[in-house]
């Protein structure tokens, strides 16, 4: 088991409506190499769940164990480093550094972690995402699809134990979205990564091995681990 | 290296921000560094030339000729290995042809000066004026005396009852102290020639000085201290002589230097402060733009301290560039100061920017920019990568800890401001007064600004779209609008305040209200000359007034305690080493002069005091003198006059308008006490037409050669010249502050325009014309400029009134023309600056809206 969430609860205080429970008693676990989609209506708590798993926020109660280590017990700086080494995050808005080229954006996490053989690893990743010709372009000079490829490469370059994607095709047209989804799943399979993908898109969710449906902050028991038939035996 | 590289890339990408940040800091630093550089150059010059300025290692001076017992004591302490020179100096009238003029006589022996030298046109020797009645003077002095052609050189010059001729002209003399502030030009003569002039009489104010030069290995400070101690032992309770060395000259000159540079330094602190506001504002905007990128960096592993490093490096780079630029600008500014202060400071000051100034500049650039931006910097703690998933708006919510951190972050800035002010003013007291005054002005203007901007909400409820949007922008962007308001208002406040105070000062010097300024002020009229002088004046044009007796004496006790221990401890004015002054001039008069008013106590009794009564006589004490020596009504003061002890009691405290140029005294005694004591007289002569003044002066000098005639008009002219130079320099710095303010406005307006780019483009899409959008910007900044300038002018009236009340006896006058000029110029400049700054954004295509949305 690579990830385990135990009794996760999260609520927010709203000035007018008081305390709102966003996540309530969330329990689930994932094995290495597993791909999971988190779906649900707007406001169902998908993004909150993703932010907790990414260690960007703390739950009110419960534990999040990644490779056996409790994220909730780490301080900000340790969490930052742990996240950098173990978790890759892909955002809907790409969130690339605008003044860095595609190549520099991809190499940035490795430089922060002071890793070895950076140029070789970046070259390999650029080939994987097919952007060798555009590697010196700034994000402003790239298309949306190309930006998301760079974001995927930046998330994968550190060889994370867990890959999190927040609506990775939400900002792209259908055709580009399909291409990016294809690339993402190919790379995840190739690198044998565990993926949690938050999406509204049933087609995208359908490409994951399992789907978690959130409704009003709860995972419904009967839908807790719905296997996607299409992906059950991907071969 | 990663963070330096990233920081540099970031700055290159954000060139606009970097440029304005640097420009703001540069202008803020430039004035401050220039003043500092100038002050240090001046101090260095004075330090290097201390012995030459003093012309000796040690000086003993007194207002009476040194007696054999003095010389014996001096010789015993100082030993045989020394050279010595003599100087007797005093003010008197000199007559040359049809001209008479007050001059300072410097009677020297053959050995003067022990350090330094005369630069004489014909390289004459000093002994040439010892044996013959010759004098050295400058060509300027000769010109003033009417000696213009070469043939005039042998023209007779009358000093007292002796006639002299010009032996040589000097270009430089050894007495190189700051001479321009002196009352009269110098004429050197041989000391042996003095006795025949008849100028040294009882009561004449003459300084007898002995100069000593020792072997190079002599420990002068120890000699000075030993001599002082031996004097205190040999003549307890008496202050017979002043003993000083180059350290005392250094202290005196240091005070003068501080006087010159202190005020300008404080004004430069204002521009530094304005620049600080603008840089903090710019950095805040920059940080808002960059918080998403920082969240991205954090999401991929950067820790908080690495983000700090990343931003600090950017600030340090910007600060360093600003420092280097400000050093370059200050190099251009510094040469202007000797021109401004021409005549007030030595001519040959070698102006250069020394390593200490460069270190100060670099320190200001790096630490200063960090301190300015610290309140914004602490916002970094609130940035969390969570915002990347949730959006920006709710990511920065202040909790109590952050609020405390935010408040604490202001403290280093305030402390730095206080320290810099004290440093610039050269005095703790003046620095604190300045900061308090500045804080009051800032608080007042911020409050007014806040109220005005809050009122904009009400004003925005109008049907006029342009006004609605403009005023809505103002109150919805309160922080930005308030920054603009305060920056403009502080600049306008300075510009308005300085001429306002100057006008009061000029009025005070030129024509004090209700006072009749005399044409001449007369000193050293002997007792026996009193009646002849009154009779003489009856036949002259002009009115003799305030013929006041003057008796010299010592204050020995206050309430039966030795007087020297009673000096107020809190008085932080630097005093000469070796004790304070004990000898003063006393007088008596039946009625107070119009320049005097009793502020506390009752008038002195008009009944003459009887020596046999055994009762203390009544004393009137000048207010500031009483404050300095902690004298109160009812205190008993002991005196020694002509060797006789007296005791009096303080009956009242008087306020004197010293600029009235009337004979006034710190202490007035009851009638009858001093009437029979040997005395001299002071007097004033008024109602002399300008054309007749020289004639009258000449006649007085002919009839009473020992009487010194001070031309008050000339004196007022000299004082005005000095104040004009000072006010010019302060205005110069104020304009620099305004320039810093304008750059701030430009930066803020530009930033606001970019921030409102979407709104501007949306308005265009919704059908607004370019002129309407333009009108919104002009109205916004015109309103800010107008209200800020108006508030500043009103505040400057209040401040200048307070200053005039405190310093100039409430002589205060509004300069309406200047106020209107400042009001309309500020408004116009603000509108123009904002329009120029936001023009590019206003001209951008509405397409940008779609691009920005994507």
pLDDT in tens, A49-90: 888 898 888 889 999 998 888 888 888 778 888 888 888 888
Spell out which residues of chain B touch residue A76, defining contact as CB-CB under 8 Å. 303-304
Residue of A nearest to B14 (CA): A99
Q: Contact at 8 Å (CB) between B796 and B497?
A: yes
Looking at residue B342, the DSSP 8-state letter turns out to be B
A136–B contact, CB cutoff 8 A? no
Higher-pLDDT residue of B512, B161: B161
Q: Contact at 8 Å (CB) between B17 and B324?
A: no
Q: Indicate the residue of B13, B295, B385 with minimum beta-carbon distance to A99.
A: B13
Q: Does position B741 have pLDDT exceeding 70, yes or no?
A: no
Nearest-Cα distance to chain A for B461, in Å, is 28
Domain termination residue (choose one: B232, B251, B270):
B251
- CA A46 → CA A205, B555, B562, distances in Å? 13, 91, 88
Q: Does position B302 have pLDDT exceeding 60, yes or no?
A: yes
Nearest-Cα distance to chain A for B367, in Å, is 26
What does the pLDDT read at residue B210?
A: 92
Query: B100: domain range?
Result: 53-251
Token pair, residue A131, equals 């952007």
Spell out which residues of chain B touch residue A108, defining contact as CB-CB under 8 Å. 297, 300
Spell out which residues of chain A touch residue B293, defining contact as CB-CB under 8 Å. 97-98
What phi and psi, each to the nearest 5 degrees, are found at residue A35?
Answer: -115, 130
Nearest-Cα distance to chain A for B32, in Å, is 36
Q: What residues contact B700, with CB distance under 8 A and at least 6 apart?
A: B93, B100, B520, B522, B536, B707, B709
- The secondary structure element, H or E, covering residue B666 is none
Nearest-Cα distance to chain B for A229, in Å, is 30
Higher-pLDDT residue of A135, B435: A135
Cα distance between residue B452 and residue B464, in whole Å? 19
Helix axes B15-48, B304-333, angle to 10 degrees: 50
DSSP B344-412: TB-TT------HHHHHHHHHIIIIIHHHHHHHHHGGGGG--TTHHHH-STTT----HHHHHHHHHTHHH
What does the pLDDT read at residue B80?
A: 83
Give the number of domains in chain B: 4
Spell out which residues of chain B touch residue A83, defining contact as CB-CB under 8 Å. 299, 301
Q: Indicate the residue of B301, B303, B388 with minimum beta-carbon distance to A91.
A: B388
Chain A, residues 55-74, CB within 8 A of chain B, namely: 56-57
Percent of chain A with pLDDT over 70: 92
Higher-pLDDT residue of A193, B340: A193
List alpha helices for A157-228, DSSP H: 174-191, 202-206
Q: Does position B413 have pLDDT exceeding 90, yes or no?
A: no
Higher-pLDDT residue of B65, B270: B65
Characterize the bridge pairing of strands A210-215 and A35-40.
parallel
Q: Contact at 8 Å (CB) between A193 and A169?
A: no
Average pLDDT for residues A99-126, to the nearest whole number?
89
Higher-pLDDT residue of B837, B675: B675
B178–A contact, CB cutoff 8 A? no
Confidence grade of residue B256 (pLDDT, cut at 50, 70, 90)? low
Q: Indicate the residue of A56, A100, A154 with minimum beta-carbon distance to B386.
A: A56
B230–A contact, CB cutoff 8 A? no
ipTM of the complex: 0.81
Residue of A nearest to B851 (CA): A140
B297–A contact, CB cutoff 8 A? yes
Nearest-Cα distance to chain A for B303, in Å, is 5
Q: Indicate the residue of A76, A77, A112 with minimum beta-carbon distance to B300.
A: A112
Q: Which of A89, A109, A96, A94 is nearest to A198 (CA)?
A: A89
Q: Does position B480 have pLDDT exceeding 60, yes or no?
A: yes
- Map residue B528 onto helix, strand or coil: helix
Domain termination residue (choose one: B231, B251, B271):
B251
What does the pLDDT read at residue B812?
A: 66
B388–A contact, CB cutoff 8 A? yes
Q: Contact at 8 Å (CB) between B283 and B376?
A: yes
Same domain, B120 and B240: yes
Spell out which residues of chain A touch residue B298, defining contact as CB-CB under 8 Å. 80
Percent of chain B with pLDDT over 90: 9
Kindly determine whether residue B303 and residue A100, on different chains, have CB atoms separated by under 8 Å.
no
Residue of A nearest to B386 (CA): A56
A53–B contact, CB cutoff 8 A? no
What does the pLDDT read at residue B791?
A: 93
CB atoms within 10 A of CB A68: 8
Q: Does position B79 have pLDDT exceeding 80, yes or no?
A: yes
What does the pLDDT read at residue B283?
A: 83
What does the pLDDT read at residue B500?
A: 72
Spell out which residues of chain B touch residue A150, defining contact as CB-CB under 8 Å. none
Kindly determine whether residue B303 and residue A81, on different chains, have CB atoms separated by under 8 Å.
yes
Confidence grade of residue A135 (pLDDT, cut at 50, 70, 90)? very high
Q: Which of B22, B482, B31, B494 is nearest to B279 (CA)?
A: B22
Same domain, B554 and B635: yes
Per-state percent for chain A, helix, strand, coil, to nearest 5:
40, 25, 35
Same domain, B125 and B272: no
Q: For chain B, what is the mean pLDDT? A: 79
- Map residue B681 onto helix, strand or coil: strand
Average pLDDT for residues B709-716, to the nearest whole number?
74
What does the pLDDT read at residue A106?
A: 93
Cα distance between residue B537 and residue B531, in whole Å? 10
Spell out which residues of chain B touch residue A113, defining contact as CB-CB under 8 Å. 301
Confidence grade of residue B772 (pLDDT, cut at 50, 70, 90)? confident
Spell out which residues of chain B touch residue A84, defining contact as CB-CB under 8 Å. 300-302
Domain termination residue (choose one: B426, B450, B474):
B426
What does the pLDDT read at residue B422?
A: 83
Average pLDDT for residues A97-119, to the nearest whole number?
88
A132–B contact, CB cutoff 8 A? no
Same domain, B284 and B171: no
Confidence grade of residue B569 (pLDDT, cut at 50, 70, 90)? very low
Q: Does position B790 have pLDDT exceeding 90, yes or no?
A: yes
Q: Does position B507 have pLDDT exceeding 50, yes or no?
A: yes
Average pLDDT for residues B143-154, to the nearest whole number?
68
Quick one: CA dihedral A140, A181, A34, A25, positive or negative? positive
What does the pLDDT read at residue B260?
A: 63
Residue of A nearest to B289 (CA): A98
Higher-pLDDT residue of B696, B619: B619
- CA B705 → CA B245, B702, B711, distances in Å? 35, 6, 16
User: Is residue B522 included in any domain, yes or no?
Assistant: no
- The secondary structure element, H or E, covering residue A67 is none
User: Is residue B726 included in any domain, yes or no?
Assistant: yes
Query: How far, in whole angstroms, is CA B124 from its chain's centroid?
Result: 40
- Mutation site, B299, B398, B399, interface A, largest A CB count within 10 A: B299
Torsion angle, alpha carbons of B63, B65, B69, B74, to 10: 70
Kindly determine whether residue A56 and residue B384, on different chains, have CB atoms separated by under 8 Å.
yes
Average pLDDT for residues A100-129, to the nearest whole number?
90
Q: For chain A, what is the mean pLDDT? A: 84
Residue of B nearest to A198 (CA): B389
Kindly determine whether residue A83 and residue B301, on different chains, have CB atoms separated by under 8 Å.
yes
Kindly determine whether residue A93 and residue B304, on different chains, have CB atoms separated by under 8 Å.
no
pLDDT tens digits, residue range B189-218?
A: 999 888 888 887 766 678 899 999 988 888
Q: What residues contact B26, with CB distance under 8 A and at least 6 apart?
A: B322, B325, B326, B329
What does the pLDDT read at residue B290?
A: 82
Nearest-Cα distance to chain A for B385, in Å, is 6
Higher-pLDDT residue of B12, B563: B12
Chain A, residues 188-227, CB within 8 A of chain B, namely: none
User: Is residue B256 included in any domain, yes or no?
Assistant: yes
- Residue at token pair 């710019």: B282
- Residue at token pair 């014909």: B122
Spell out which residues of chain A touch residue B299, defining contact as CB-CB under 8 Å. 54, 56, 83, 89, 95
Confidence grade of residue B574 (pLDDT, cut at 50, 70, 90)? very low
Same domain, B7 and B123: no
Spell out which residues of chain B touch residue A80, defining contact as CB-CB under 8 Å. 298, 301-304
User: Is residue B525 included in any domain, yes or no?
Assistant: no
Confidence grade of residue B180 (pLDDT, cut at 50, 70, 90)? very low
Confidence grade of residue B238 (pLDDT, cut at 50, 70, 90)? low
Confidence grade of residue B853 (pLDDT, cut at 50, 70, 90)? very low
Average pLDDT for residues A28-56, to the nearest whole number?
87
What phi and psi, each to the nearest 5 degrees, are found at residue A217?
Answer: 80, 5
Average pLDDT for residues B124-137, to the nearest whole number?
86
A81–B contact, CB cutoff 8 A? yes
Same domain, B308 and B419: yes
User: Is residue B532 included in any domain, yes or no?
Assistant: no
Confidence grade of residue B275 (pLDDT, cut at 50, 70, 90)? confident
Nearest-Cα distance to chain B for A233, in Å, is 32
Same domain, B266 and B219: no
Kindly determine whether residue A91 and residue B306, on different chains, have CB atoms separated by under 8 Å.
no
Higher-pLDDT residue of B248, A150: A150
Lowest mean pLDDT across B8-22, B83-97, B761-775: B761-775
- CA A20 → CA A16, A97, B314, B424, B528, distances in Å? 10, 34, 41, 57, 104
Same domain, B216 and B88: yes
Same domain, B247 and B257: no
A95–B contact, CB cutoff 8 A? yes
Report whether the peptide linkage leading into residue B113 is cis, meaning its omega lies within 30 degrees of zero: yes
Same domain, B187 and B322: no
What does the pLDDT read at residue A114?
A: 85
A97–B contact, CB cutoff 8 A? yes
Cα distance between residue B806 and residue B768, in whole Å? 55
User: Is residue B294 included in any domain, yes or no?
Assistant: yes
A96–B contact, CB cutoff 8 A? yes
Chain A, residues 144-183, CB within 8 A of chain B, namely: 154, 158, 166
Q: Indicate the residue of A77, A154, A166 with minimum beta-carbon distance to B300.
A: A154
B385–A contact, CB cutoff 8 A? yes
What does the pLDDT read at residue B338?
A: 74
pLDDT tens digits, residue range B23-43?
A: 888 888 888 888 788 877 877
Confidence grade of residue B447 (pLDDT, cut at 50, 70, 90)? very high
Cα distance between residue B222 and residue B734, in whole Å? 46
List alpha helices for B49-136, DSSP H: 50-54, 68-78
Kindly determine whether residue B300 and residue A50, on different chains, have CB atoms separated by under 8 Å.
no
What does the pLDDT read at residue B255?
A: 63
Domains with residue ranges and CATH for chain A? 30-59+73-224 (3.40.50.300)
Cα distance between residue B709 and residue B683, in whole Å? 10
Higher-pLDDT residue of B466, B728: B466
Nearest-Cα distance to chain A for B386, in Å, is 5
Percent of chain B with pLDDT over 70: 81
Cα distance between residue B153 and residue B185, in whole Å? 18
Average pLDDT for residues B505-523, to the nearest whole number?
65
Spell out which residues of chain A touch residue B307, defining contact as CB-CB under 8 Å. none
Same domain, B591 and B675: yes
Q: Does position B450 have pLDDT exceeding 70, yes or no?
A: yes
Kindly determine whether residue B297 and residue A97, on different chains, have CB atoms separated by under 8 Å.
yes
User: Is residue B287 included in any domain, yes or no?
Assistant: yes
User: Is residue B565 included in any domain, yes or no?
Assistant: yes
Same domain, B725 and B851: yes
């Amino acid at each position: 088991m690579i990830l385990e969430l135990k009794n996760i609860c999260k609520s927010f205080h709203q000035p007018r409506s008081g305390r709102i429970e966003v996540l309530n008693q969330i329990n689930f676990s994932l094995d290495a190499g597993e791909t999971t989609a988190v779906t649900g209506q707007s406001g169902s708590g998908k993004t909150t769940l993703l932010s907790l798993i990414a260690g960007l926020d703390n739950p009110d109660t419960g534990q999040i164990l990644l490779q056996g280590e409790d994220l909730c017990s780490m301080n900000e700086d340790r969490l930052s480093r742990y996240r950098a080494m173990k978790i890759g995050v892909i955002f809907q808005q790409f969130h690339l550094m605008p003044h860095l080229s595609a190549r520099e954006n991809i190499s940035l996490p490795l430089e922060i972690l002071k890793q070895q053989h950076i140029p070789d690893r970046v070259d390999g990743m650029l080939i994987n995402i097919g952007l060798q010709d555009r590697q010196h372009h700034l994000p402003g000079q790239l298309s949306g699809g190309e930006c998301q490829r760079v974001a995927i490469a930046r998330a994968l370059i550190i060889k994370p134990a867990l890959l999190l994607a927040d609506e990775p095709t939400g900002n792209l047209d259908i055709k580009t979205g399909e291409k990016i989804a294809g690339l993402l799943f190919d790379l995840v399979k190739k690198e044998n990564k565990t993926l949690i993908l938050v999406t509204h898109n049933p087609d995208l969710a359908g490409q994951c091995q399992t789907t978690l449906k959130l409704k009003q902050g709860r995972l419904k028991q009967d839908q807790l681990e719905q296997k996607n038939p299409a992906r059950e035996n991907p071969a | 290296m990663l963070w330096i590289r990233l920081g540099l890339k970031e700055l290159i990408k954000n060139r606009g921000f970097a440029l304005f940040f640097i420009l703001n800091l540069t202008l803020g630093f430039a004035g401050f560094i220039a003043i500092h550089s100038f002050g240090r150059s001046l101090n260095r010059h004075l330090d290097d030339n201390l012995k030459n300025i003093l012309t000796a290692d040690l000086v003993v001076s007194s207002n009476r000729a040194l007696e054999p017992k003095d010389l014996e004591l001096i010789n015993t302490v100082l030993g045989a290995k020394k050279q010595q020179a003599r100087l007797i100096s005093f003010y008197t009238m000199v007559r040359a042809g049809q001209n008479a003029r007050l001059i300072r006589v410097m009677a020297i022996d053959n050995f003067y000066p022990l350090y330094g030298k005369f630069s004489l046109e014909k390289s004459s020797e000093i002994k040439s004026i010892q044996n013959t009645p010759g004098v050295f003077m400058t060509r300027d002095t000769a010109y003033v005396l009417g000696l213009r052609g070469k043939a005039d050189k042998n023209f007779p010059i009358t000093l007292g009852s002796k006639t002299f001729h010009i032996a040589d002209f000097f270009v430089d003399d050894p007495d190189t102290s700051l001479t321009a502030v002196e009352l009269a030009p110098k004429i050197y003569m041989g000391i042996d020639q003095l006795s025949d002039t008849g100028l040294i009489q009882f009561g004449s104010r003459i300084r007898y000085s002995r100069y000593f030069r020792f072997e190079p290995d002599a420990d002068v400070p120890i000699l000075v201290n030993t001599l002082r101690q031996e004097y205190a032992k040999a003549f307890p309770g008496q202050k017979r002589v002043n003993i000083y060395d180059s350290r005392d000259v250094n202290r005196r000159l240091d005070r003068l230097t501080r006087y010159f540079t202190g005020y300008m330094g404080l004004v430069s602190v204002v521009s530094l402060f304005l620049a600080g506001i603008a840089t903090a504002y710019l950095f805040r905007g920059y940080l808002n733009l960059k918080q998403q990128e920082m969240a991205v960096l954090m999401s991929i592993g950067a820790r908080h301290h690495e983000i700090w490093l990343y931003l600090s490096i950017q600030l340090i780079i910007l600060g360093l560039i600003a420092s280097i630029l400000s050093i370059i600008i200050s190099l251009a500014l510094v040469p202007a100061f000797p021109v401004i202060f021409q005549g007030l400071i030595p001519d040959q000051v070698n102006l250069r920017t020394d390593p200490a100034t460069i270190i100060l500049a670099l320190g200001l650039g790096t630490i200063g920019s960090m301190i300015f931006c610290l309140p914004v910097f602490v916002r970094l703690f609130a940035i969390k990568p969570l915002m990347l998933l949730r959006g920006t708006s709710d990511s920065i919510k202040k909790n109590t800890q952050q609020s405390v951190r935010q408040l604490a972050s202001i403290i280093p800035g305030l402390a730095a401001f206080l320290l810099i002010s004290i440093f610039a003013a050269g005095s703790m007291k003046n620095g604190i007064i300045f900061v308090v005054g500045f804080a009051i002005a800032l608080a007042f203007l911020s409050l007014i600004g806040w109220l005005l901007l809050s009122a904009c909400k009400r004003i925005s409820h109008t049907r006029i779209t342009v006004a609605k949007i403009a005023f809505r922008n103002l109150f919805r962007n309160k922080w930005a609008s308030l920054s603009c308001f305060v920056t403009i208002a502080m600049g306008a406040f300075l510009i308005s305040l300085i001429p306002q105070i100057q006008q009061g000062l000029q009025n005070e010097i030129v024509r004090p209200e209700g006072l009749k300024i005399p044409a001449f002020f007369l000193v050293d009229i002997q007792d026996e000359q009193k009646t002849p002088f009154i009779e003489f004046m009856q036949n002259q044009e002009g009115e003799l007034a305030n013929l006041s007796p003057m008796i010299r004496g010592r204050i020995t006790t206050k309430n039966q305690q030795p007087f020297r221990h009673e000096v107020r401890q809190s008085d932080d004015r630097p005093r000469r080493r070796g004790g304070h002054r004990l000898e003063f001039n006393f007088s008596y008069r039946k009625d107070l002069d119009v320049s005097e008013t009793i502020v506390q106590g009752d008038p002195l009794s008009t009944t003459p005091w009887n020596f046999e009564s055994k009762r203390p006589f009544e004393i009137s004490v000048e207010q500031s003198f009483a404050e300095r020596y902690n004298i109160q009504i009812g205190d008993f003061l002991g005196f020694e006059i002509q060797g006789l002890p007296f005791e009096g009691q303080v009956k009242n405290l008087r306020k004197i308008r010293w600029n009235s140029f009337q004979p006034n005294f710190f202490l007035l005694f009851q009638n009858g006490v001093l009437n029979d004591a040997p005395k001299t007289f002071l007097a004033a002569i008024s109602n002399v037409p300008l054309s007749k003044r020289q004639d009258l002066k000449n006649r007085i000098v002919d009839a009473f050669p020992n009487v010194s005639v001070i031309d008050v008009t000339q004196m007022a002219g000299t004082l005005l010249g000095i104040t004009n130079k000072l006010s010019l320099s302060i205005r110069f710095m104020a304009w620099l502050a305004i320039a810093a303010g304008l750059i701030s406005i430009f930066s803020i307006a530009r930033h606001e325009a970019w921030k409102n780019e979407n709104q501007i483009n949306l308005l265009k899409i919704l059908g607004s014309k370019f002129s309407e959008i333009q009108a919104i910007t002009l109205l916004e900044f015109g309103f800010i400029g107008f209200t800020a300038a108006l508030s500043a002018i009103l505040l400057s009236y209040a401040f200048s009134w307070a200053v005039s009340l405190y310093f100039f006896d409430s002589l205060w006058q509004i300069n309406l023309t200047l106020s209107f000029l400042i009001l309309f110029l500020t408004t116009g400049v603000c509108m123009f600056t904002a329009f120029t700054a936001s023009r590019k954004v206003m001209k951008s295509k509405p397409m940008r809206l779609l691009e920005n949305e994507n």
